[in-house]
Amino acid sequence: MDEIITLNHGAGGRQSHDLISRVFAAAFGMPMPLTDSAIIEDAVNTLAFTTDSYVVDPVFFPGGDIGKLSICGTVNDLAVSGAVPKYISASFIIEEGFPVGHLRKIAESMAEEAHKAGVKIVTGDTKVVEKGKCDQLFITTSGIGMLQRDRTGISAGVEVARGDKLIINGSLGNHAIAVLGSRNKLSFTTPVISDCAPLNHMINKVLEKCKKIHFMRDLTRGGLSGVLNELAAICEKGIIIDENSIPVDGPVRGACEMLGFDPLYLANEGKILIVAASSESEEILSILKSDPLGRNSAIIGEISGQNEGRVILNTLTGGKRIVDMPSGVQLPRIC
Amino acid sequence: MKFIDGYRDSDLIGRIVRRIEISATGRYVFMEVCGGHTAAIRRFGINSILPRNIRLISGPGCPVCVTGKDFIDTLAAYSEMDDVMICSFGDLLRIPGTGGRSLEKMKAGGADIRVVFSCLDALETARRWPYKKVIFAGIGFETTAPGTAVAVKLAAEQKLDNFLVLSAHKVMPPAMETILREGTALNGFICPGHVAAITGADVFGFIPARYNTGCVVTGFEPADILVSILMLVLQANSGLPAVEIQYGRVVTASGNMTARKIMAEVFEPCDAEWRGLGIIQDSGLQLREKYTCCDAKKIIPIDVNREAETENCICGDILKGVREPADCPLFGTLCTPLNPEGACMVSEEGSCNAWYKYRITDG
């Protein structure tokens, strides 16, 4: 069978990386490692530039909609690169028959998030395709942010060192389970709400106070395990995390137990990983915790000198296991 | 999650492990025959906290793993027909059929294949798409077979003529007996808790009686598994094997009579092919004649060419517990979760997949 694209190629794991490096990076001659934003420097300014497409189904979900997602995702990609997000473009591919009322609601939520994040939506495009040629609505946003010269190394993790602490700003998996639940009409006793939010102000507070931030990444497709495995590979170091310290909300854990999912692999839209020198980790934690979007922040592990390129989890029960790069979409288990 | 946290408490786990260390004076080999146990053992790193004189091996407990290529090939052939929709459990999608064809690839090529969470979802799909033939890929042991039986009964009662089941459902005890007959040296079985919730623990009675091997019906949390290992060690030490129930909060001696009754009403035993183990007498479940109206094999008969198993793949020996995934020349190189050759690599519950994802480092 000739190689064709499957959903696995879009899941943010090993296949996505393979596809990007074999097809796109090879054709475009892109420098490695690939980061969330491109860093563009000239004599006067340093810019971060990023783009992302949003195809979430359903377009409205608990805690947000495709419009909110399209702003937050791009703002966060810029912010984790150390940049201050400034300008956004938005293009829409709309399926024939899509209600204008829905589109209006989506546009309003984009405006609201842009206002919250302090970015301007400055340009865009609209295309309408025949019924069945796309699923309701796809949005692509691109963003430009201003980057201070001393922050250009953050997205590639060039200064990550042994002993650095790993910090996340709250519970994992809420976005993935909220979307999955609303897509499949699963009902939860306590509703699961997407964590979708612009994190740039919170990140900025951290960057202003702390100078030893060595790496940041948002934990979107592929989840925490995807980001940790990428980091382990690019910095050629080992990573140790403690299952006990990783926050996961009750309803998300319940859904994962039932469906056979691992929260470490689930997508988030308002969570980041910060890797910083141990000496600054407590201060970062307290800044994050003072922000409503970081109330459940936790130090979850550290960069180690052993098991180069691997991510090791100390399990709840006192055992150890490898957390591998996600491979394909997570499939619900039979029993 | 208060009902789960207690079973994962690290102090409690530590105390059970110390009891095991004190009691385990010899060498022991125990087999788990449920994929859920295999995955839990790897996920919680249970192997890494057990003393080295206790070895856990994984038997044929993953329903996806033991499903033969011909089942996938048949579904793939159905999916190419006009007006057919396949409903499948998620983890069956990636299982390779002949020539690497899988439902996942068929789906990417345009076939109408949908993931469902239960057979009743497939029944609902058939109601919503009356002009399509909706074929449910019926796999699983006594845990999923009752759900299929309920759906088949409802479809027959409601004369829903576009709902079909391709049954590869199986029952567990004959496979356990095959493993014992083939002489795998075991000191005891970690018996499947959710299978036993349906069948009752008594179904394993022949194992101590005829094969002098202990059985503990076990839950799926770390404390459950470790307590069962302790119980099996004590049984082996005493030389008095028996069927004991550790998973008492769910399992009884006689099981779920309602589920057993409906299974018996809809299904009858048949010989079934187990990947790696071959054909095992009376180990499969086929629809009774009364329910031919829902039997895909009879309504849409189809012949697929059977292909030999992949060369060098040792899935069969792994399922019997004779060898471990790391012994396989394909493991981790030619056979990975991304490109599974053998079925044990496909499912989250497969031994090879669990080994690959959760393998313990020496560092």
**Residue-number span of the structural domain to which A56 is assigned:** 33-151
Q: What is the mean pLDDT of chain B?
A: 90
Whether residues B109 and A4 touch (CB distance < 8 A) is answered with yes
On whether residue A26 sits in a domain, the answer given is no
Residues above pLDDT 70, as percent of chain B: 95
Q: Do A335 and B36 touch (CB under 8 A)?
A: yes
Least confident of A103-112, A256-265, B167-176: A256-265
Q: Which residue of A has its CA nearest to B13?
A: A317
pLDDT of residue B315 exceeding 70, the answer is yes
Using the Cβ of B347 and the Cβ atoms of chain A, whether some distance falls under 8 Å is answered with: yes
Is A330 within a domain? no
Q: Is the pLDDT of residue A290 over 80?
A: yes
Q: Is residue A331 part of a domain?
A: no
Nearest Cα residue in chain A from B61: A335
The C-alpha atoms of residue A302 and residue A165 are separated, in whole angstroms, by: 4
Structural contact between residues A83 and A48, judged by C-beta atoms closer than 8 angstroms: yes
**Average pLDDT, stretch A255-272?**
91
Task: Check whether A249 has a pLDDT greater than 50.
Answer: yes
- Select from A262, A322, A334 the Cβ nearest to the Cβ of B63: A334
Q: Which of residues 256-315 of B touch A (CB under 8 A)?
A: none
The rounded distance, in Å, linking the Cα atoms of A240 and B247 is: 33
> Which whole number is the average pLDDT over B151-176?
96
A171 and A125 part of one domain: no
Same domain, A169 and A52: no
pLDDT score at A92: 98
Q: What is the pLDDT of residue A114?
A: 98
Q: What's phi and psi for B30, nearest 5 deg?
A: -120, 145
Pairing mode, strands A120-129 and A165-168: unpaired
Highest-scoring range by mean pLDDT, A246-255, B108-117, B257-266: B257-266
Contact A260 B44 (CB under 8 A): no
Residue A178: CATH number of its domain: 3.90.650.10
Judge whether A91 is closer than 8 Å to chain B, CB to CB: no
Nearest CB to A334 within list B44, B91, B108: B91
Q: What is the model's pLDDT at position B308?
A: 63
- A31 contacts: CB under 8 Å, gap ≥ 6: none
Interfacial A residues in 158-217 facing B (CB < 8 Å): 184
* A309 at interface of B, judged by CB pairs closer than 8 A: no
A131 lies in the same domain as A226: no
167-206 in chain B: CB under 8 A from chain A: 194
**What is the complex's ipTM, to 2 decimals?**
0.73
Higher pLDDT, A2 or B255: B255
In whole angstroms, what is the distance from residue B96 CA to residue B342 CA? 8
Whether residue B362 is predicted with pLDDT greater than 60 in this model: the reply is no
**Do A230 and A101 have their domain in common?**
no
User: Does residue A189 belong to any structural domain of this protein?
Assistant: yes
pLDDT at B99: 78
- Residues A144 and A176 grouped into a single domain: no
Spell out which residues of chain B touch residue A5, defining contact as CB-CB under 8 Å: 108
Residue A71 lies in a domain: yes
B35 to chain A, any CB pair closer than 8 A? The answer is yes
- Tally A–B CB contacts below 8 A: 129
Q: Based on the domain organization, do A171 and A122 belong to the same domain?
A: no
- For chain B, give the longest Cα–Cα distance: 65
Kindly state whether residue A244 falls inside one of the protein's structural domains: yes
Highest mean pLDDT among B177-186, B199-208, B332-341: B199-208
Q: Tell me, yes or no, whether A185 and A209 share the same domain.
A: yes
Residue pair B220/B192 in contact (Cβ under 8 Å)? The answer is no
Residue B363 has pLDDT above 50, yes or no: no
Q: Are B121 and B90 in contact (CB under 8 A)?
A: no
Is residue A53 located within the same domain as residue A198? no
CA atoms within 13 A on the CB side of A198: 26
- Cβ contact A317–B349 (<8 Å): no
User: Mean pLDDT throughout B276-292?
Assistant: 93
Q: Would the pLDDT of B31 be above 60?
A: yes
What CATH number corresponds to the domain at position A113? 3.30.1330.10
Please count the CA atoms within 13 angstroms of the CA of A75 that sit on its side-chain side: 30
CA distance B133 to B82: 9
Is A267 a residue whose pLDDT tops 70?
yes
Residue A145 and residue A214 share a domain:
no
Whether the CB of A260 is below 8 Å from some CB of chain B: the reply is yes
Asked, as a colleague might, if the bond just before A58 is cis with ω within 30 of 0, I would say: yes
Residues A200 and A245 in one domain: yes
Within a domain: A10: no
User: Tell me, what's the pLDDT at B361?
Assistant: 44
A206, A291: one domain: yes
Q: Provide long-range contacts, Cβ within 8 A and 24+ apart, for B102-106.
A: B102/B72, B102/B76, B103/B72, B103/B75, B103/B76, B103/B79, B103/B137, B104/A6, B104/A7, B104/A8, B105/A1, B105/A4, B105/A6, B106/B76, B106/B79, B106/B80
Which of A151, A178, A208 is the C-terminal boundary of a domain? Answer: A151
| Per-residue pLDDT at B313 | 85
CA distance B16 to B22: 10
Under DSSP, the state recorded for A192 is P
**Lowest mean pLDDT across A284-293, B101-110, B131-140, B230-239:** B101-110
Report the C-alpha gap between B42 and A322 in whole angstroms: 10
Per-residue pLDDT tens digits for A77-103: 999 999 999 999 999 999 999 999 999
Choose from B10, B62, B71, B103 for mutation: most chain A CBs within 10 A.
B10
Report the candidate in B338, B244, B283, B300 with the shortest Cα–Cα distance to residue B68.
B283
- Distance separating alpha carbons of residues A27 and A283, to the nearest angstrom: 43
Residue A181 shares a structural domain with residue A206: yes
Which residues in B lie closer than 8 A to residue A7 (C-beta atoms)? 104, 108
Instruction: Select from A151, A177, A207 the last residue of a domain.
Output: A151
pLDDT number for residue B185: 85
* Boundary-marking domain end, from A119, A151, A183: A151
* Residue whose entry in the numeric block shows the structure tokens 């057919």: B84
Inform me whether the pLDDT recorded for A69 exceeds 80: yes
Query: Does the CB of B104 have a partner CB in chain A at under 8 Å?
Result: yes
Using an 8 Å Cβ cutoff, are B53 and B24 in contact? yes
How large is the average pLDDT for residues A299-324? 91
Give the count of domains, chain A. 2
Disruptive mutation site among B2, B16, B20, B46 for chain A (greatest number of A CBs within 10 Å): B46
Q: Is residue A21 part of a domain?
A: no
**Any residues with CB less than 8 A from the CB of B226 and at least 6 apart, and which?**
B13, B16, B17, B20, B46
**Element holding B338 (H helix, E strand):** none
Distance CA B131, CA A186 (A): 27
- The residues in B 143-172 lying below 8 A from A, measured between CB atoms, are 143-144
- Chain-centre distance of CA A140, in angstroms? 16
A41 touches chain B (CB under 8 A): no
Q: What is the pLDDT of residue B96?
A: 82
pLDDT above 90: residue B85: yes
Cα–Cα distance for residue pair B56/B51, rounded to 1 Å: 11
CB contact under 8 A, B105 and A250: no
pLDDT at residue A335, as a whole number: 45
Q: How far apart are CA B144 and CA A49, in angstroms?
A: 50
